């Protein structure tokens, strides 16, 4: 399965390309695509969905969260720092609730939202900047694809690392702020409208 970078840049890497600590999430995305609620996706995604009336069952949803949890556990085993190990542990524990009491609908963001998350220019990264999930310095990857989430902390991650979390949980892994929700614009009453019947000479 092609990586997000390969899709966005219309390239195909050799099979032997090293991914460091990143975990192959092809099975996760295959299951996600089979259970995602078509009404939350774009028209193109709905057209590609094989069963437009499908809704996720608790078993499928729990399995999806289990796959994500397994990704975090795999990374935790080789965590290079205690901070990274503890961060991954918090994500793993958070997923326990979703596994034991799966939601009836996935709260994750749509693929359309993920495709529009701000990409970080390689020139804006320093050699010490790394992904909080995999801890690989961004610039070690010749084809890094770093995103900046629209949360208050503007947290950055490798798209391949944060994509599964965002699609299934819909929150920033660091601050847990919800992503993809449209902000309510307050309606401001215009004082002039109240005086609309007044005539001006």
pLDDT in tens, 65-115: 999 999 999 999 999 999 999 999 999 999 999 999 999 888 999 999 999
pLDDT, residue 105, reads 87
Q: Is the pLDDT of residue 192 over 70?
A: no
- pTM for this prediction: 0.75
Average pLDDT on 42-48 reads 42
User: Distances from the Cα of 186 to the Cαs of 20, 177, 183, 189, 190, in angstroms?
Assistant: 46, 20, 9, 10, 12
Instruction: Give the C-alpha separation, 167 to 78, whole Å.
Output: 24
Angle between helices 58-77 and 26-35 (to 10 degrees): 160
Whole-number mean pLDDT of the chain? 81
pLDDT, residue 190, reads 55
């Amino acid at each position: 399965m092609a990586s997000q970078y390969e899709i966005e840049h219309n390239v195909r890497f050799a099979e032997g390309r090293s991914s460091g600590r990143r975990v192959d999430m092809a099975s996760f995305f295959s299951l996600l695509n089979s259970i995602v609620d078509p009404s939350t996706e774009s028209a193109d995604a709905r057209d590609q969905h094989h069963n437009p009336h499908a809704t996720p069952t608790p078993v499928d949803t729990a399995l999806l969260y289990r796959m994500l949890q397994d990704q975090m556990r795999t990374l935790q085993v080789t965590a290079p720092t205690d901070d990274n190990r503890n961060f991954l542990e918090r994500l793993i524990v958070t997923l326990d609730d979703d596994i034991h009491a799966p939601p009836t609908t996935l709260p994750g963001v749509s693929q359309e939202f993920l495709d529009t998350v701000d990409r970080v220019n390689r020139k804006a990264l320093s050699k010490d900047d790394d992904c909080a999930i995999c801890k690989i310095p961004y610039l070690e990857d010749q084809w890094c694809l770093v995103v900046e989430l629209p949360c208050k902390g503007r947290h950055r991650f490798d798209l391949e690392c944060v994509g599964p979390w965002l699609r299934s949980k819909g929150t920033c892994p660091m601050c847990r702020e919800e992503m993809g929700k449209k902000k309510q614009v307050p309606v401001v009453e215009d004082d002039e409208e109240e005086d609309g019947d007044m005539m001006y000479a």
